[in-house]
Structure 1
């Protein structure tokens, strides 16, 4: 059993970035140090506020956002029998000047270049395996030749002048009964560009693992690992921590850990996540020696990307303060604090972002692609329950920046300053970049238009 468990650990790490398409020189140049999006005057992302001691247990003033963009490239390989391999990979880069944190620009460029190279190598191997699989099936008279798949994506959990934290998703199918998928994470110190370790954040490994185990038992009362008071889960968490195989991100209000399928439970149970909140367990986090406050607290207002079907715990509120977003081709389901909203529309392809305002209001921005290929934005207010605010002819989708096989997306990192692209019907010239803030009712409020005069 232990061998199976540890194999699943290895597979989870591998499947998070199992294989990747060939990386074109154009795509890498576009992501790494090239073709930065032009900036209009009065850029909101460039000024570094004076240091101010934070006035909250789990947030601090004086932080500013880092403007980011993701770029995804797609590759489809085929032979005479049909598709062999469908694959995509995603990189990330800074989209504007960050004069006080030049090292994060270099760090993300290096991250993208490294992942691109790794994906190209694994794509070559996976394509070879797909060809062999088709050949073996043909020998036995098969008429069905399934395509292998490998997909990766990046979700930005936090991007400010202290921390940039990326949640990495990967899925893979290699001809078996079902595919595999999983999450990993990378977190960078924005100022130095150094990849952070859990030892930078927690006072001790024991305090951290004890908190993880306790929170998992509370979060998942019906999970299979509850048997024998969670003995198998406790052993696995300790082992993963000891071997440096815990997957995590630093979110604005705490640190979230991800346990991929087969790690703590069955494939059907999916991914287990648990968040250790700064406000709930302040003693386990390292504190600043001067302010005596938790060192890595996030900004008061923030944005956080939410992958579908991956719940997130938002605070230590007495009510079940969690958010999850689920979608199928005909419906979007938002589960917030135990209240559900089912919104009927073509929701096959979505990207969701949680926005938390300085005064505490929360909104969900959901970009989606219509059946006709046009992008749009749907906004929801998250108060006592999720409520639909409206649909807008705007999107975080930028354009096809790498030919016919890729796309770029703006990342919302600050609810008071973010970019959207105008779509037909918005009242602005299509494909114009709009600088926006979230208005009082949650709707995007445009206050600067690229190229506008006066």
Structure 2
């Protein structure tokens, strides 16, 4: 009897709407608040892969070095307010930096352009409908049931030298009793940039309907009756129609699917197979369980260490992973206990195959990641607390246990690769600012910072009131061996820091210089009281 892997997370969104505008932001968690981070310094400077295994042709051949893509998720935002919020929405795009794969970069750029154009049209329609319905409600004296909403969230399921794959969840509301939820997905071949069809990944498409129906009925047994009642056919026959589709009411059914590191995930939205009450269905077919079903090109050489975000589908949908590579799927659940008196959650619960670890923590929302590193499996959970402070809790899991490893302050940035991701850090050096610390998963599962300076996030400047002599640096932070006197009135823009002794600045005359300071109070600059050297220093509480 297969064990199923349940991924669920409880999210609360706080949406701030301000007028009719379109805002573009790229990168996840680009503005976050927290206390100063401390991460373990007792780890090695590099991640070593110690697992050495011999496998036959029907199992995954693990590479010793991961070949990941540098990719993250960007968002477009739009909203409109007239006395009340009329509508809001967002769109998700890829942010890809992969010059070694020019065909993929071109294909992704085209995908982004088409997606943005379609989104703009959709937002204009939603604004028009919201405005029309709101004006009618005001004129006739009834309540406007808004705001109208179109919210997307993208989850990258694979990003390596074989494939770039992602699923986007969408919630749409334009009036009526309830909104609608659904999925869209895209899969690229990394080498060629070509969009993959299901036939590229599934070698035996004739067997697919039977295998998929069997897995679906194990997870959702009620669908046997539902599909027969709604479509007058078996679930297997209904799924077979996706492979030989016929247009019905301008809609041609096709599978929504993504390629992962362990298999292929299929997504079915509300009304697609069953009724609205049946919700969404998510099913994964794994290569280890059905090797004859797949094109081995995408599975016989895969990375061992990776990370994927756990998707919080609306009805606690299911996905799969194999914790100990024994060919058996494991059940994982991430949720929390809500404390109504505090209007926030009071615990973080991680459950594996019925074994629960309850971690006391107060927060408003969480984001979870499945992380594989150094032959182990971890759950990274980012919690959003008061004042936008973020904390990451780390749990080591096996098929029979959950072990709490520790907490680290900060928010997660682009966790697709367990050997290279970011954590936000706060510093108070001539002003308060945020940086991204490049990290890897250490031997104990905790994030370990890599050596090097921190790139400062966002924009912020200070203006001097006195002449300051400073050492010059190049654009990479290397000292040039000369100094320059910068007059009063010079504007300094924050670029990078070591977090302890200096901040590198870009001045308004185009020079780059290093100001020596500390992460302590009172602030100093080159040995002087910084408060006497600048017009205003922006320190947060």
TM-score scaled by structure 1?
Answer: 0.76
Alignment match, 1:233: 235
* 1:27 and 2:10 aligned: no
Distance 1:234 1:105 in 2: 38
User: Aligned with 1:218: secondary structure?
Assistant: helix
Residues 117 and 347 of structure 1, relative CA distance in 2, 3 Å threshold:
farther
Deviation (angstroms), 1:22 = 9.2
Deviation (angstroms), 1:346 = 4.4
Q: Which has the higher contact order (CA 8 A, sep 6+)?
A: 2
Alignment match, 2:71: 68
Deviation (angstroms), 1:206 = 1.2
Residues 279 and 238 of structure 1, relative CA distance in 2, 3 Å threshold:
same
Q: Tell me if structure 1 keeps the 8 A contact 2:226–2:274.
A: no
Alignment match, 2:354: 338
Residues 420 and 321 of structure 1, relative CA distance in 2, 3 Å threshold:
same
Partner residue of 1:441 out of 444, 448, 456 = 444
Deviation (angstroms), 1:358 = 4.2
The equivalences for 1:197-236 within 5 A come to 197-223=197-223, 225=225, 231-236=233-238
Distance 2:193 2:437 in 1: 29
Deviation (angstroms), 1:218 = 2.2
* 1:311 and 2:318 aligned: yes
More helix by share: 1
Q: Tell me if structure 2 keeps the 8 A contact 1:432–1:449.
A: no
The equivalences for 1:33-112 within 5 A come to 57-61=59-63, 63-80=66-83, 82-95=84-97, 98-112=98-112
Residues 450 and 268 of structure 1, relative CA distance in 2, 3 Å threshold:
farther
Residues 114 and 354 of structure 1, relative CA distance in 2, 3 Å threshold:
same
Distance 2:57 2:305 in 1: 13
Q: Tell me if structure 1 keeps the 8 A contact 2:263–2:285.
A: yes
User: Aligned with 2:141: secondary structure?
Assistant: coil
Alignment match, 2:534: none
Residues 112 and 325 of structure 1, relative CA distance in 2, 3 Å threshold:
farther
Alignment match, 2:419: 416
Distance 1:296 1:112 in 2: 30
Distance 1:93 1:73 in 2: 12
Distance 2:102 2:362 in 1: 41
User: Aligned with 2:178: secondary structure?
Assistant: coil
5+ residue gaps, structure 2, are 1-18, 28-45, 47-54, 246-252, 339-343, 455-496, 502-541
Deviation (angstroms), 1:251 = 0.9
Residues 344 and 119 of structure 1, relative CA distance in 2, 3 Å threshold:
farther
Alignment match, 2:365: 349
Worse-superposed segment, 342-351 or 121-130: 342-351
Distance 2:243 2:333 in 1: 27
* 1:387 and 2:403 aligned: yes
Q: Tell me if structure 2 keeps the 8 A contact 1:307–1:325.
A: no
Distance 1:380 1:198 in 2: 35
The equivalences for 1:241-280 within 5 A come to 241-243=243-245, 245-280=254-289
CA shift digits 1:396-447 (9 cap, x unpaired): 2xxxxxxxxxxxxx3212112222221369xxx8522211111122211112
Alignment match, 1:4: none
Deviation (angstroms), 1:216 = 1.1
User: Aligned with 1:27: secondary structure?
Assistant: strand
Residues 117 and 341 of structure 1, relative CA distance in 2, 3 Å threshold:
farther
**Which entry has the higher C-alpha Rg, 1 or 2?**
2
Residues 227 and 238 of structure 1, relative CA distance in 2, 3 Å threshold:
closer
Worse-superposed segment, 438-447 or 116-125: 438-447
Q: Tell me if structure 2 keeps the 8 A contact 1:86–1:149.
A: yes
Partner residue of 1:284 out of 290, 293, 296 = 293
User: Aligned with 2:434: secondary structure?
Assistant: coil
Q: Tell me if structure 2 keeps the 8 A contact 1:310–1:325.
A: no
Residues 144 and 228 of structure 1, relative CA distance in 2, 3 Å threshold:
closer
Alignment match, 2:192: 192
Q: Tell me if structure 1 keeps the 8 A contact 2:262–2:299.
A: no
CA shift digits 1:164-218 (9 cap, x unpaired): 1111111111121111111221111111111111111111321222211121122
User: Aligned with 2:388: secondary structure?
Assistant: coil
Alignment match, 1:401: none
User: Aligned with 1:388: secondary structure?
Assistant: strand
TM-score scaled by structure 2?
Answer: 0.64
Alignment match, 2:149: 149
CA shift digits 1:240-264 (9 cap, x unpaired): 3323511111111000101111222
5+ residue gaps, structure 1, are 1-20, 32-43, 45-52, 289-293, 397-409
User: Aligned with 1:203: secondary structure?
Assistant: coil
CA RMSD of aligned residues (A): 3.3
User: Aligned with 1:362: secondary structure?
Assistant: strand
User: Aligned with 2:129: secondary structure?
Assistant: helix
Distance 1:343 1:267 in 2: 35
Deviation (angstroms), 1:92 = 1.7
